Chain A
Amino acid sequence: MSEQKLILVVDDDPDLVEAVSMKLETKNFRVAKAYDGVEAMDRIKEEKPALVILDVMMPRKNGWDVCEEIKNDPNLKDIAVVLLTAVADSVKTTSYTHHDGKTTLADDYIPKPIDLDELMEIVNDHCS
């Protein structure tokens, strides 16, 4: 029986972390959670997950910086990083934006609002 892979979900929206975690657990992954960039780096160094699902706009340290730290560290650089890219506006309509994730060091990206099934496909691609 293959070992359950550990995935770290990082977002400053705790409800989104729960939603993504629940989905991952139903797909038989182990899940760790972090709610900002500093906490994410601590968990990454401690637990060496197979993959990090990483929000971009977060308190204390943003996702771009976390991604850069992971990919520039020889001990961590093999950890796959999937960026969640969005900027929410506190305006009268829902709005979003996404960066061209391919120009970053991330392995993949998914624009917000995320489609959980699409996210699962990306996770499977990087964890198989």
Chain B
Amino acid sequence: MKQISINGIRLGRKMLQLDQAMIPGQPSVPVYETLSCHRINMVCAGLHHCGTAFLFSCCLEAKHKDHAAQILGCPADLPDVCMVSIYPHHGNIQVPGVLMQLLGRAGIRFFHLVSSHAVVCVVIETKDQDAVISLVESVFDLPPSHTPYCQEIEEDITRFLQKYPETRAFYVEEKIKTYGIQVRAGLDLHQVTCTRSAVADAGEQMCRMGGSDKKFHLVSAMPGPEQGYELFVVTDPGAAIPDMDPGSAAGETGPTQIISDRMEMAPGNQDLFFDGTPLMTVDLISFHGPHFGDRYKILGTAMDCLKQDHVPVLVAGCTGASISLAVPYGQGKAAQNALAKGFEAP
């Protein structure tokens, strides 16, 4: 098989991992809201909505460890993790697919795998970082001059300012700036559930999805219920968009209920559940803004805007400086309008 070309590997060190499963009948405040109230930035985050429940995963800088444990009422021994990002993926589904195969075959546990426009990030235990870098370097085609780059933002800034003194200005945006809010309508949402032992097989299935030149627009995988993984992939449509009324893409059953039903269909003793067909048609909203990676309240603002306008989010993935949100087919425009209340788009 031809090696897949990428340009680089980036490392995010000294982070900690938080998860939340919100189950019907157990009301609780979403973790992202609590973090937002306390002005704590998330480095990456993901949200899978299943029926009335949702799974949430996020990464914080380790310096927030005590504060986060205190405000969230969780144990102080939150897992120390790091993030390995590879870029650019050019929408090639084989990039996340191969990455999952590598992790699965090496038996390396991951906490979250999520993509942005250009990057695929995986959150792993810090002790596995070197092994993952070696695996990626051995399988992907990297430029000869490549070295994994670890960004230590504060040190970089200090060093830079010593060399090039600058005038610095601080401001607080009235509305959060973006480079534009994009809507891609009529994409396929695929769902794969697998046990930890079947992660490599799930990665292989993903690679097969890409066999017909379909590009992917969002990947988000995180531990699901019962020791397994829940994986969502949004791809180009494989067939003509079904002729349906906007907003009624899922027929009489709500879109989030479809995901919930599908999860229940997956028998507990089955290692991998993926029948090859898209789960449903969705619209994907994606936006990217200056300093999204350095500030708090982005995901919370997006979720608030959509909630106010009654647009359900099926899957959300945030990493680097971008956010992607899958919403039911036909609701992309409504989502774009809702987001315009909290975000400034040119």
Contact = CB atoms under 8 A, between A and B. Distances in A.
Interface of A: 12-19, 33-36, 38-39, 42, 57, 59-60, 62, 64, 86-99, 112-117
Contacts of A117: 346
A90 B166 contact: no
Interface of B: 7-8, 39, 41, 61, 87-88, 116-119, 143, 145, 147, 149, 151, 153-154, 156-157, 160-161, 164, 166-173, 177, 179-180, 288-291, 293-296, 320-322, 346
A92 B296 contact: yes
The majority secondary structure among interface residues of chain A is loop
A88 B294 contact: yes
Nearest to B296: A92
B202 to A, nearest CB: 25
A93 B168 CA distance: 13
A42 B166 CA distance: 28
B161 A15 contact: no
A117 B8 CA distance: 29
A114 B117 contact: no
Contacts of B321: 13, 15-16
B173 A94 contact: yes
Given A88-B291, A113-B290, A113-B291, A17 B168 contact: no
A59 B151 contact: yes
Given A59-B151, A94-B295, A89 B157 contact: yes
B87 A14 contact: yes
Contact of A87 (B147, B160, B296, B346): B160
Contact of A17 (B41, B118, B169): B118
A48 to B, nearest CB: 19
Contacts of B153: 88-90
Contact of A94 (B7, B117, B294): B294
- Of A18, A64, A98, chain B has the most CB atoms within 10 Å of the CB of A18
B295 A62 contact: no
B139 to A, nearest CB: 19
Contacts of A36: 8, 149
Contact of A89 (B88, B173, B294): B294
A94 B171 contact: yes
Nearest to B291: A94
A36 B150 CA distance: 13
A17 B288 CA distance: 11
B346 A15 contact: no
A88 B294 CA distance: 7
A36 B10 CA distance: 12
Given A15-B321, A16-B321, A95 B171 contact: yes
Contacts of B291: 88, 94-96, 113
Given A14-B88, A35-B7, A39-B143, A93 B171 contact: yes
- Of A17, A33, A89, A116, chain B has the most CB atoms within 10 Å of the CB of A89
Contacts of B167: 97-98
Contacts of B157: 57, 87-89
A118 to B, nearest CB: 9
Contacts of B164: 64, 99
A96 B160 CA distance: 14
Given A15-B119, A115-B346, A93 B295 contact: yes
A15 B156 contact: no
B37 to A, nearest CB: 12
Nearest to B89: A14
Nearest to A95: B170
B127 to A, nearest CB: 25
